[in-house]
Amino acid sequence: MCYIRNVGGYRTEYCKLQIGCLLVIAYIAFLYVRERRRYEKKLRPTPFDGLLALGILSLTLDGATAWTVNHLDIVPAMLNRVLHLLFLISLDSIVFLLFLYFLVSTEGLPKRKRDRFFLFAPYAISIAMVLLNIGSLEYRTGRLSNYSMGVSVYACFIMVGISIILTFVVFFRRWRYIESHKRASIFTYLLVMLLAGGYQMLVPEALVTSLGMTIFLLGIYLNQENPALRQLSHYHREMVMGFAVLIEGKDGSTGGHVRRTTAYVEVLTKALRDRGCFRDVLTKDYIQNLLMAAPMHDIGKISVPDSVLQKPGRLTPEEFEIIKRHTVSGGEIIQNTFGHVGNAQYLDMAYNVALHHHEKWNGKGYPAGLKGEDIPLCARIMAIADVFDAVSETRCYRAAMPMEQCFDIIRQGAGQDFDPLLAEVFLDIRPQVEAIHSQVQ
């Protein structure tokens, strides 16, 4: 809130809210830069960098205009209008960019040019209205502070309101695509921004736009952009991957199988999500848990004797039965080892992937002979990734097959060995699959 008093005939403000918010964002920027330098080898520009810079600029202009609008007798009219122009444009821009940031992080920008045009059109119209009407800006006297009004301000208010409402729409539309532990905090800072924006429109002299902006940026930093938390998550993934690679080494592999199959799972899952397949299942939590579970699919091989696992020739029926038991052993190991991690969804995912990734769509797989959609989706996805990598790489018992033949195996197995929908999508993303095969060793 901006408070005023008369000193020597002039109205002097103490813009505590703007200054306080500016200090908070500046401190966040300091922590963010320091942590990125500590944890990231290459400091590449990110969208959040731009949001922080624009936030600091907008808060500075907010405080400056709060001062100039209450010192009309000593501030040149041109300077006052220029500062208001810059502030209104920066406010429009940062709220619209916050909406775009949220849109991209949940569902992505529209792919069609026409949809993108309608997405950016309100923002462009608002900026044009601010520019064309800044000359008619009015200054009014309120109970606590002077404030500005006019077509430029109205256009800015309308655009801010549209951006906030659209952000809420995206939030509720993509609720299931947001990690469950982040939903409450995201809703909270969205609500604070909505209330601050609404109060500012109803009480123009309040000058509380800085509060909503600060809470939003703080929420994004704590939930999504904190480099230390991202690094901790990275360490967790690498630990799981390293454990899986050690187990894979039992059959003479170097870890490439684990990394490639996980990458195949990722591109296949995201392609399914982008096409709207399994919309109620493929939440962000589900995808993240699956990517953490995929490296553990062959963990049961730790119980298979090396003489069987590394045998260069054809397995006897008895030896094949021993190999098949790695699925059951893997499920047991997952339950006994990861049963206390506190994430029931991940435990269930890892268990099903380890136990059922050799099931077949026609019911002729193992260990349970599950058929069709009775096979958990995560295991059906894992099955395609596992088989494709198995036939496309050299193993101790045979050479790698040509790439065309590998895709033919997936094509011919659709409806027999594999879920036909998953196989179709996997074949459609062939360029991505081939890129992973050539790059991940």
Give the residue among 180, 145, 167, 152 at the shortest CA–CA distance from 92.
Answer: 152
Ramachandran area for residue 342 (φ above 0: left; ψ -120 to 50: alpha; else beta): left
Take residue 150 and report the two structure tokens written for it: 């006019």
Domain holding 235: CATH number? 1.10.3210.10
- pLDDT, one tens digit per residue, over 391-401 is 888 666 667 78
Biggest distance spanned by C-alpha atoms of the chain = 100
What is the total count of domains within the chain? 2
Range of the domain at 48: 2-223
Q: How far apart are CA 171 and CA 122, in angstroms?
A: 20
Q: Residue 416: how many CB atoms within 10 A of its CB?
A: 12
Among 196, 223, 250, the domain boundary falls at 223
Residues 184 and 209 both lie in one domain = yes
Residues 308 and 326 both lie in one domain = yes
For all residues of the chain together, what is the average pLDDT? 84
Take residue 141 and report the two structure tokens written for it: 């006297």
- Give CB contacts under 8 A, 24+ apart, made by 122-128: 122/159, 122/162, 123/92, 123/93, 123/96, 123/159, 123/163, 125/155, 126/92, 126/155, 126/156, 126/158, 126/159, 127/89, 127/92, 127/93
- pLDDT, one tens digit per residue, over 404-431 is 999 999 999 999 999 999 999 999 999 9
Domain holding 116: CATH number? 1.20.1070
Q: Is the pLDDT of residue 102 over 80?
A: yes
193 contacts 164 by C-beta, under 8 angstroms = yes
- pLDDT, one tens digit per residue, over 292-314 is 899 888 888 888 887 777 777 77
In this prediction, residue 249 carries a pLDDT of 63
- pLDDT, one tens digit per residue, over 195-254 is 888 888 888 777 778 888 888 898 888 888 888 777 777 676 777 777 676 666 666 555
Among 192, 223, 254, the domain boundary falls at 223
Take residue 30 and report the two structure tokens written for it: 């300091």
For residue 339, which phi and psi values (nearest 5 degrees)?
-70, -10
77 contacts 134 by C-beta, under 8 angstroms = no
Cut 0.75: pTM above it: no
